[in-house]
Amino acid sequence: MNKLTVKWKRSRVFKTTITLIMMTIILAVAFIVGVSLGPISIPFKETIMIFLHKLQLTNYAGFTEQQWVVITEVRLPRVLVASFVGAALAVAGVAMQGLFRNPLVEPGYIGVSSGAALGAVSAIFFGWSAINEWFLPLSAFIGALFAMFVILLVWRATNQRSIAVLLLLGIGVNSFFSAVMNVLVATSKNEQELRGIVFWLQGGLEARTWEHVLIISIPITLGIFILFLFGSQLNMMLLGEDHAKTSGINTRVTRNLVLTVAALITGAAVAVSGIIGFIGLVVPHILRLAVGPDHRLLLPASALGGAAFLIFADLISRMVIQPITLQVGVVSALIGAPLFVFLIIRAYKGVSL
Amino acid sequence: MIDVTNLQVTLGDKTILKNIHFHVTAGEFIGLIGPNGSGKTTLLKTIAHLIASKNGNIKIAGKDQKAFSHKEMARHLSYVPQDTHIDFNFNVKEIVSMGRHAHREFLQPSPADDEIIKEVMVATNTWRFRNNSILNLSGGQRQLVFIAKALAQDAPIILLDEPVSALDIYYQMHILKLLKTLTSRGKTVVTVLHDLNLAARFCEKLLLLRNGQVEAYGRSNEVLTEERLKETYHIDAKVRQDKLIQALNVTPL
């Protein structure tokens, strides 16, 4: 009898370990491929050597100066930003989907991303970003929180509090924010400012530097790890508020904390990359089909999967139609949207989300 | 075990419950009955502290419910809502294990968890489909799973909101017998029931609500009288003793 339970317990731990190891391998491959491919292709062997050298593990120098510069100064920060942003968006997606018990909720859909983008764009437009490097991400975060706050306040005032109403409000808030951003674009005084604003509207990872990595690495890592702690709480929230509450969950604290942290990491992600859609929707969706709905596994798996997804999307945006470089937000939507439609069709054929 | 004094509950500007007084002793099996809209679910949710009361107070095991933390409350009282619908693909055992949350410290499963989970799953006859997805179960099986989850919570009080109304006669009997066995082992069960005959047959005491007030509280033969059924449900009914099952039988005419 006892053996059975031990066996089961082992199997969950086993499944978690295997899944996370596999996801880590996928991410590592994405990382190396993402760093070595580009207009100047650098062989994988040299890439790995440069990694090791950068981490001061070897002092082998079988690579050229140019390769060293391209990798450490151009591609490494870009790929790192992609991993942090991808992880943040996927984890924020999972957390919100769990909280609202609906696999179709995504930070972008309920106005959080556009709020963050508006914050970032305002920072450029009004010149705050020039005062201090932290003002732009801060402004993006405040924008994200503000959007979330407004939308939840309006939603709570409605009678039914249905997800359909929430998504409708999201559409409203999104169009309003993008209209405001269009006003800012139209009244923008100089070319450079305009480019900066458009960048945030489309989402991109061009010219990301170590400074960007530095700005987002701490809030995103911290936020993601805080959300990891809410795995079992989110599992129980899936059964409904009454279930969660009577099972001993402080639902109010859980909801407020999870939403704030999700807004924080979304804001941080948007602050350096602009609006990149579909990651928070597609990555959790695929992983839910592959590993099940248990958030204790789904959250870390999505962090790794989201990072890998965005690195690949960025790679495609750089490589596919050279010499034109598409913005990664465009590529993400190009891959994500059809996948999303496919998943919806699948779901409505009777296969569970 | 449960003491309700002078309870008043309002939702919006509508008073749902007023002047509710009653006492439930440990080990009793109480049936909450009453017409639609009489406040049964609201009363159950208020006892579970899912709805805040406007006036009055509710004591659980001698302590004011407002003084409990969420986890502490969950260790005293488990609740099976009417709606057991779920969209996410958990397996049965994962659902039942969630009942153990209140006994876990931060990130640490309690050592007795696995044994208790198996025990309640065997008792509720859910162990045989422990690895099935909750999405592939019938309504009756799903109801059993959520009762198993409530049992895994290992609280002395179990509240259920219409646990059998959507079920076929096999599961109705199965679940009510199971609840009866639990009370004989010392659990206190309060359940909303629509079927008066099942309520009369299985519950030790019935609490009849009418327009948000307690119309009657006591043994089935005290509560289910022909006059009262007429007043409360507006039906002409014959109340007889069914000799075969030794219980009251209500037959609407």
- In this structure, what CATH number is given to the domain that contains residue B133? 3.40.50.300
CB of B4 closer than 8 Å to CB of B20? yes
Chain-chain contact of A352 with B89 (C-beta, under 8 angstroms): yes
pLDDT of residue A226: 96
pLDDT for res B214: 92
Mark out chain B residues that contact chain A at CB-CB < 8 A: 45, 48-50, 69-71, 73-75, 77-79, 81, 83, 86-91, 93-95, 98-99, 101-102, 104, 107, 114-115, 117-118, 133, 135, 149, 153
CA distance B132 to A166: 32
**DSSP codes joined into one string, B213-228:** EEEEEE-HHHH--HHH
**How many residues does this entry show for chain B?**
253
Q: Six-digit token pair at B15?
A: 């008073």
CA distance B122 to A211: 58
A293: preceding bond cis by omega (within 30 degrees) = no
Q: Quote the mean pLDDT of chain B.
A: 89
Cross-chain residue pair B94–A9, CB shorter than 8 Å:
no
Contact A205, A143 (CB under 8 A): no
- Angstrom distance (rounded) from CA A198 to CA B203: 69
Query: In one letter, which amino acid is A268?
Result: A
Of B86, B115, B117, the CB nearest to A238: B86
Instruction: At B50, list the tokens.
Output: 């899912």
Residue type, B161: D
Give the C-alpha separation, B113 to A24, whole Å: 31
A1 contacts B87? CB cut-off 8 A: no
Instruction: Report the chain B residue with the minimal C-alpha distance to residue A228.
Output: B107
Tens of pLDDT along B156-214? 999 999 988 878 898 889 889 999 999 999 999 999 999 999 999 999 999 999 999 99
Report the SS3 class of residue A137: helix
Q: What dihedral angle (degrees, nearest 10) is formed by the CA atoms of A28, A34, A35, A36?
A: 110
Q: Mean of the pLDDT values across residues B58-71?
A: 90
Residue ranges of chain A with pLDDT lower than 50? 1, 351-353
User: What one-character DSSP code corresponds to residue B100?
Assistant: G
Give the model's pLDDT for residue A1: 46
DSSP run (H or E) holding B21: strand B14-24
Q: Which chain A residues are closer than 8 Å to B149 by Cβ?
A: 247
Q: Average pLDDT, stretch B124-136?
A: 89
Closest-CA residue to B51 (of B92, B21, B79, B9): B9
What's the Cα-to-Cα distance from A205 to each of A107, A322, B165, rounded to whole Å?
19, 16, 57
What burial class does residue A119 get, using C-beta atoms within 10 Å of its C-beta: 0-12 exposed, 13-18 middle, 19+ buried? buried
ipTM for the predicted complex: 0.85
Structural domain boundaries, residue B241: 2-252
The more confidently predicted of residues B41 and A215 is B41
Residues of chain B contacting residue A231, judged by C-beta atoms under 8 Å apart: none
* C-beta atoms of A293 and B99 within 8 A: no
Number of domains comprising chain B: 1
CB burial of residue A107 (10 Å; 0-12, 13-18, 19+): buried
pTM: 0.87
Interchain pair A1, B118: CB under 8 A: yes
Chain B residue numbers touching A236 (CB-CB < 8 A): 98, 101
Distance from CA of B88 to the nearest CA of A (A): 6
Q: Which residues of A touch B104 (CB under 8 A)?
A: 232
pLDDT the model gives residue A353: 43
Cα separation of A322 and A326, whole Å? 9
DSSP codes, A154-193: HHHHSSS--HHHHHHHHHHHHHHHHHHHHHHHHH--SHHH
Q: Which residues pair with B160 in a beta bridge?
A: B80, B191
- Average of per-residue pLDDT across B88-110: 81
Q: Is B234 helix (H, G, I), strand (E, B) or coil?
A: coil
Which pLDDT belongs to residue A351?
47
